Structure 1
Amino acid sequence: MRAILELVRAPAALSVPGDMLAGAAAARRPAAPGLAVASLCLYLSGMALNDWADREIDAVERPERPIPSGRVSPGRAFGLAAGLTAAGLLAAALADGRRGLVRAGLLAGTVWAYDLGLKRTAAGPASMAACRTLDVLLGTGEQVRAGGLMALAIGAHTYGISLLGRAEVRGAGRGTINGALAASAVAVALTGLSCRRGNHEPAGHGQAAASALLAGYVALTGVVQAGLRASPDPDQVRRAVRLAILGLVPLQAAGVAGQGRLAQAGALLAAMPLGHWLSARMATS
C-alpha cells in the first residue's frame, strides 16, 4: 500500500480539492463534492502515469521510486492511471452532467499529453500550469469568466513549481529561481484581484483573512525560493518544490476566504498538518 501511495504522491494529493473550492467560490456557486472527487482521481492518475512514462529515466536518476525499485510493476501503474482517469470522468459526469464530462475530458487529455510527450519539452511548465488552471475551472460551472483570475493564479503558481521541478536532480540556475519567484508574485497578485473582484465588502473578515493567508503563502513558498539564490543545490530545490506544492493550500484558501467562505478556507488549512506529516515520509514530487 505504501508503494501505491508513493506512486500517486499522496502528500501532494491533499492540495487538489482546494482547486474546485477556489473555482466555485470565485464563481459564487455551491461547491460540488463530486467534482472534487473527479479532480482528485485525475490528479492521482497523472501521478501514476508520470512514473510509468519516466520509468527508464527514473531507473538511472531516481531508482528509489516505486517502479524502478520493483515495488510496483509498470503494468499495474499504467492500469491504475487508466482506471483513475475513467473514475474521474465518471465522477465529473455524475456531478455536473455533460458540462462536467467535457471539462474533465479536456483536463484528462491535458494530463496525458503532459505525461506522455510535453513534459520534457519547452511547453512542459505551461502544460502543467494548464492542468491546474483547468482543474479550477472545473468547479466554476457556467461562470467560467468569474473564476478566470483564480484559475490563472493557481496556474501561475504551478508554472513556478514545474520550473523548479526540472531542477530537482541537477540544481537550479538563476533564471529558474527568478522564474519561480515571478510566478509566485503573479499568483499573489491574481488571487488578490480575484478576491476584490468578487467581494463587495473589501473591509470584511473575508478580505482580512485572505490577506493573512497570502502573507502565509509568501512566507511558506517565496522565502524558500529566494533562499535558493544562495543554495541552489538539488536538496534545497526539492525542499522548495515540496513547500511550493503544500503552498497551494494557503493560496487556494485565500481565494476561498476572500469570497467570504471562511469555513471552507479553514477546512483547507486543517489538511496542512497531515500534508506536512506525509511529505516528511514520502516524496511529494
Structure 2
Amino acid sequence: MSCARDYLELVRAPAVLTVLGDTLAGGSAAGHSLSGRRIVLPLASACLYAGGMALNDYADRGVDAVERPERPIPSGRISAGRALAAASALTAAGLGLSAVGGGRRSLAVGAPLAAAIWSYDLAAKRHAVPAALTMGVCRALDVLMGAGTAHIRAALPAAAAMGGHTVAVTALSRGEVNGTDTTTASGAVAATALVSASVLAGAPRSWQRALPVVAAVSVYAARCAPAQLEAAREPAARHALEATKRGIRAMVPLQAALAFRHGNAAAGLAVAAVDVLGKVLRARSARGANREMSES
C-alpha cells in the first residue's frame, strides 16, 4: 500500500517550496499587495508544480526502472495509474486555486501554464532545446499568473528573469546521469550573471530600498554560480547534479529580489522565510538520512 511519504517523494515535496515565490514576484511587479485571496496563489503554483512532478515520474517510469529504480513507481510503492491520477488531481486543484486567488485573470494564465507543464512531461522533455525552453516558459507563466492578464506587461521582466534562469538550470539537469558539457555549464554561468545584472539594473535608486535587492541577488548568485563554474571546469555528472540542485534552490532568493525590487517588502520577506524553511527541512532530512545509515 502506498503511504503519504511515498506521494511526498513522488511530487518532490521539498522542491515545491521553490515555486511559492513565483506569483509573489509577479504580483509585486503588478502592484498587488500580499493580502486577501491573493495569498492562495502560491498554493496554486505548488499544486501545479507537484502535479508536474507526479506526471514526470509517470512519463519516465520506463527510464527510471533502469536509471533510478528507487523512485516510487519503479520500486512498486506507487502504481503508474495512481501517479497519473495524482497528477490530474493536483493540476485540477492548481487551476481551481488560481481562480480563487486571482479570478479569471489569473486562471487565464494558469490554464496555458498547466498545458505547458503537461506538454513538457509528455513530449518536449525528450529533446534538449524544446525541454529547456518549455520549462522556462512554465516558470515565466507561473510568475505571470501572479500578475494576471491585466498586468502582463509590467510583470514581463520578472517573468523573463525567472524563465531565463530556469532554461539554464534545465539544460544543466540533462547531464545529471551521464554528465554535461563545458558549453552548457558555461552558458549557465553566463545566464546567472545576466539575470543578476538585469535585476540589479531595475533596483530602486534609494539605497534603503536597493539594499535588500542587492542582498537577495548576492545570495542568488553565490548559491548557484560556484557549482556552475565547477561544472564548467569538469562537466562530470556529479557536478551537473550539484549545479542543478543549487540552481533550483537559488530560485527562491531570486524571487525575493524581484519582490523587493518592486517595493513589496512583505512579499520579499515572505519569500525569504520560505528560503529559511527550506534550509531547515533539508538539514532535518540530512540528519535523518545519517541516522538511518548509522543504525543500519
2:252–2:271: 8 Å Cα contact kept in structure 1?
A: yes
C-alpha displacement of 1:138:
0.4
- How many angstroms apart in 1 are the aligned matches of 2:234 and 2:9? 27
C-alpha displacement of 1:278:
4.1
Kindly tell me the number of residue pairs found equivalent between the two proteins.
Answer: 277
Which of these residues, 164, 170, 190, is aligned with residue 156 of structure 1? 164
Correspondence 1:1-285 to 2 at 5 A? 1-31=4-34, 32-121=38-127, 122-141=129-148, 142-193=150-201, 195-196=202-203, 199=204, 202-279=205-282, 281=285
TM-score for both structures, normalised by structure 2: 0.89
- Large movers: runs of 4+ above 3 Å: 276-282
- How many angstroms apart in 2 are the aligned matches of 1:100 and 1:48? 23
Matched to 1:240, the amino acid is A
C-alpha displacement of 1:185:
2.1
Q: CA RMSD in A?
A: 1.6
User: Structure 2 stretches of 5 or more lacking a match?
Assistant: 287-296
Secondary structure at 2:160 match in 1: helix
Structure 1 or 2: larger helix share? 2
Closer, same or farther in 2 for the Cα pair 1:164/1:261, shift >3 Å? same
- How many angstroms apart in 1 are the aligned matches of 2:117 and 2:56? 9
C-alpha displacement of 1:245:
0.7
Matched to 2:135, the amino acid is M
Matched to 1:51, the amino acid is D
Q: What does residue 292 of structure 2 align with? A: none
Secondary structure at 1:68 match in 2: coil
- How many angstroms apart in 2 are the aligned matches of 1:145 and 1:54? 36
**1:62-117 deviations in Å (ceiling 9; x for gaps):** 11111111111111110000001111111112222222222111100000000000
Matched to 1:22, the amino acid is A
**1:200-232 deviations in Å (ceiling 9; x for gaps):** xx1242211101111111111011111113332
Comparing 266-275 with 127-136, which one deviates more in the overlay?
Answer: 266-275
- How many angstroms apart in 2 are the aligned matches of 1:220 and 1:207? 20
1:205–1:260: 8 Å Cα contact kept in structure 2?
A: no
**1:125-155 deviations in Å (ceiling 9; x for gaps):** 0000000000000011211111100100000
C-alpha displacement of 1:5:
1.3
Comparing 44-53 with 92-101, which one deviates more in the overlay?
Answer: 92-101
Matched to 1:189, the amino acid is A
Question: Which of structures 1 and 2 has the larger relative contact order (alpha carbons within 8 angstroms, sep 6+)?
Answer: 1
